[in-house]
């Protein structure tokens, strides 16, 4: 009897307590569900930020090759697929793949720079970039995760057109001294970018380079979006790109044919020579923290230019344009004086048709006449509130200067020597 009473009491207590237990369990499950939802949302946001986080963009364009650069937020194995611009869908056929494997082994990392060779001159190509995340790498195995790519299903893929050596004219747009004002840069470029061979960034696009990400945050992300990753970029380093904790990364993101910030390239019948005037103050200035060695840098550069201008290839070119951030015939600071003293003997022989510069932040374009301070070449100095739209034909150089509203402020013309 006592056993029966005990069981009844036990069952009664159990059923009385059960709702409380069930409710507690349900509440706990609901709390876990909310945490799971929050975690899922966080993961979704994180995933959206991962993958291809900067780029792609085009550098080192020639009549038969180009380099494509982008970055990912995690280590990836990457490649590029190329398709002719022939009206077919990108998915119509297997497309040739190009990898970053200069020594036979494909590189893995967050930075991706892939060179495409063997292209046809003056021809437009579509391209698509791919990056597959590497979850674990230990010889001899690699474990892979997700693959990220530019879209081609319901979107036009980015494209590029190789330079045409037979072109009768060359057109480009130049901006300089933007100093991280991405909106101003966008407004200045908008009227011209629909029909240019390349975009020239003539220095001081940033105040300094505190981190590699700052290059993109300051202006490159906006430029990539505005051009749909489809217009080659030529960057002439300014003195502000030599400053900052990550300034040594400049050449990584803007490589050149020489591997140095001074180089030459040809578009149509025009040879472009880009020089780097370095910093403007003496190397011992307190601002450089004993890290500046620009006097020696300019001397080595001068020897390179001397070799170039004495070469038969250089002498055979009719139109040659010199690009330099700081005007060679301007300034009384050490950097300018040292540059002028070194280079004026080479630039006094009228072996260039025109010099294009920036740096002065002038309200409108300036023209430093030929034969000023031993420089026998006219020097156009573009202002920082305007873009220079340059068109070079067989006999003439025409420049239109536009403000942020797209209004033409001035025009200049020069005969080709």
The pLDDT value recorded for residue 39 is 43
SS3 (DSSP) at 124 = strand
The sheet carrying 387-392 orders its strands as 233-235, 198-201, 170-175, 387-392, 396-402, 408-415
Distance from chain centroid for Cα 181: 15
Query: Residue 19 is encoded by which pair of tokens?
Result: 């709702």
Contact present, 399 and 411 (Cβ < 8 Å): yes
CA gap 370, 276 in Å, rounded = 20
Residue 341 Rama label (left phi>0; alpha psi -120 to 50; beta):
alpha
pLDDT at 249 over 80: yes
Q: Which residues contact 322 (CB under 8 A, 6 or more apart)?
A: 273, 275, 347, 352, 354, 355, 356, 377
pLDDT tens figures, 50-100: 799 999 999 999 999 999 999 999 999 999 999 999 999 999 999 999 999
pLDDT level of residue 370 (50, 70, 90 thresholds): confident
Sorted by where each begins, the domain ranges of the chain are 52-160, 167-415
Determine how many CB atoms are found less than 10 A away from the CB of residue 131. Answer: 24
Q: How far apart are CA 56 and CA 68, in angstroms?
A: 6
d(C-alpha 89, C-alpha 129), whole Å: 16
Q: Is 164 exposed, middle or buried (0-12, 13-18, 19+ CB in 10 A)?
A: middle
pLDDT mean over 112-116: 98
| pLDDT tens digits, one per residue of 135-144 | 998 888 999 9
First to last CA, the chain: 122
CATH topology of domain 52-160: Immunoglobulin-like (2.60.40)
362 by Cβ neighbours in 10 Å (0-12 / 13-18 / 19+) ranks as: middle
- The rounded distance, in Å, linking the Cα atoms of 244 and 211 is 8
pLDDT digit string, tens, across residues 197-214: 999 999 999 999 999 999
CA–CA dist 381, 359 (Å, integer): 8
Cα-flanking dihedrals φ and ψ of residue 355, to 5°?
A: -115, 135
CB contact set of 95 (below 8 Å; sequence gap of 6+): 81, 82, 83, 128
250 has a pLDDT exceeding 60: yes
| pLDDT band of 417, cuts 50, 70, 90 | confident
* Helix (H) / strand (E) containing 233: strand 233-235
pLDDT value for 49: 53
Per-state percent for the chain, helix, strand, coil, to nearest 5: 30, 30, 40
pTM over 0.85, yes/no: yes
CA 261 to chain centre: 14
CATH topology for 167-415 is Purple Acid Phosphatase; chain A, domain 2 (3.60.21)
pLDDT tens for 35-45 read: 444 444 443 34
> Do residues 209 and 249 touch, judged by C-beta distance below 8 A?
yes
What percentage of the chain has pLDDT greater than the value 90? 76
């Amino acid at each position: 009897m006592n056993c029966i009473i005990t069981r009844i009491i036990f069952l009664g207590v159990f059923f009385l307590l059960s709702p409380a237990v069930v409710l507690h369990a349900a509440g706990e499950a609901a709390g876990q569900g909310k945490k799971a939802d929050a975690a899922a949302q966080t993961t979704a946001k994180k995933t959206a930020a991962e993958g291809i986080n900067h780029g792609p963009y085009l550098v080192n364009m020639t009549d038969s090759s180009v380099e494509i650069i982008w970055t990912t937020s995690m280590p990836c194995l990457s490649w590029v697929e190329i398709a002719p611009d022939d009206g077919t869908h990108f998915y119509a056929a297997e497309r040739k793949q190009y990898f970053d494997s200069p020594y036979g082994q494909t590189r893995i990392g967050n930075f991706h720079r892939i060179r495409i060779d063997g292209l046809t001159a003056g021809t437009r190509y579509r391209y698509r970039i791919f990056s597959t995340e590497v979850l674990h790498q230990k010889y001899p195995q690699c474990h892979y995760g997700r693959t990220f790519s530019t879209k081609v299903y319901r979107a036009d893929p980015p494209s590029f057109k190789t330079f045409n050596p037979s072109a009768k004219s060359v057109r480009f747009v130049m901006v300089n001294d933007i100093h991280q004002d991405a909106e101003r840069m966008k407004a200045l470029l908008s009227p011209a970018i629909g029909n240019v061979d390349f975009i020239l960034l003539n220095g001081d696009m940033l105040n300094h380079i505190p981190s590699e990400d700052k290059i993109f945050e300051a202006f490159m992300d906006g430029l990539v979006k505005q051009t749909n990753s489809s217009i080659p970029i030529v960057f002439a380093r300014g003195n502000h790109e030599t400053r900052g904790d990550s300034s040594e990364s400049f050449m990584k993101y803007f490589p050149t044919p020489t591997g140095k910030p001074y180089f030459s390239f040809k578009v149509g019948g025009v040879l472009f020579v880009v020089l780097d005037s370095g910093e403007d103050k003496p190397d011992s200035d307190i601002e450089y923290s004993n890290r500046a060695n620009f006097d020696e840098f300019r001397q080595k550069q001068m020897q390179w230019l001397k070799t170039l201008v004495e070469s038969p290839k250089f002498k055979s070119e009719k139109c040659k344009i010199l690009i330099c951030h700081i005007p060679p015939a301007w300034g009384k600071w050490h950097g300018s004086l040292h540059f002028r003293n070194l280079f004026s003997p080479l630039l006094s022989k009228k072996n260039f048709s025109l010099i294009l510069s920036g740096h002065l932040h002038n309200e409108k374009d300036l023209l430093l006449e030929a034969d000023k301070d031993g420089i026998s070449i006219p020097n156009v100095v573009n202002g920082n509130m305007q873009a220079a739209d340059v068109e070079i034909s067989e006999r003439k150089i025409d420049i239109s200067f536009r403000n942020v509203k797209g209004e033409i402020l001035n025009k200049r013309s020069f005969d080709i020597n």
